Amino acid sequence: MVESAFPAHTASDGYLFSDNGKYILLNIAPGDGVAGVNPVDAIEADLKRVRAEFPGIEAGMTGGPALARTEERTTAHDIALASVIAIVSSIQHRRTSANTAIPSTIAYR
């Protein structure tokens, strides 16, 4: 028998709780024949509704697809930010170096 790194307990009503009782754990898998629906987006939409209806509840998801989407969004954000910084730095460098640069005809003599 393999022991979980995160012990959990089952209540009499069938819910799976973390060892400290703070979290209810759900295992969700996409259904067969559901075309064109991203399961991570569908679950996130449901989580937003739960958070709106129950503001005191913290609800989230994890797992391969959810983590992949988070990494994708973080990477896209970081690339966009790095691009903006590079463009601004390039413009700033050109402005400051235009006033102090040695003309190329003098530099190569």
The DSSP code sequence of 23-46 is -EE----PPTT--S--HHHHHHHH
Which ranges constitute the DSSP H helices of the chain? 39-53, 64-100, 104-107
8 Å CB contact between 17 and 8: yes
Residue 106 has a pLDDT of 47
Name which of 25, 28, 29, 27 is nearest 8 in CA terms: 25
- What is the pLDDT averaged over residues 60-84? 92
User: Taking all residues of the chain, what is their mean pLDDT, rounded to a whole number?
Assistant: 79
Q: What is the C-alpha separation between 59 and 48, in angstroms, rounded?
A: 9
pLDDT band at 37 (very low <50, low <70, confident <90, very high): confident
pTM over 0.75, yes/no: no
- Structure-token match 């259904």, residue found: 31
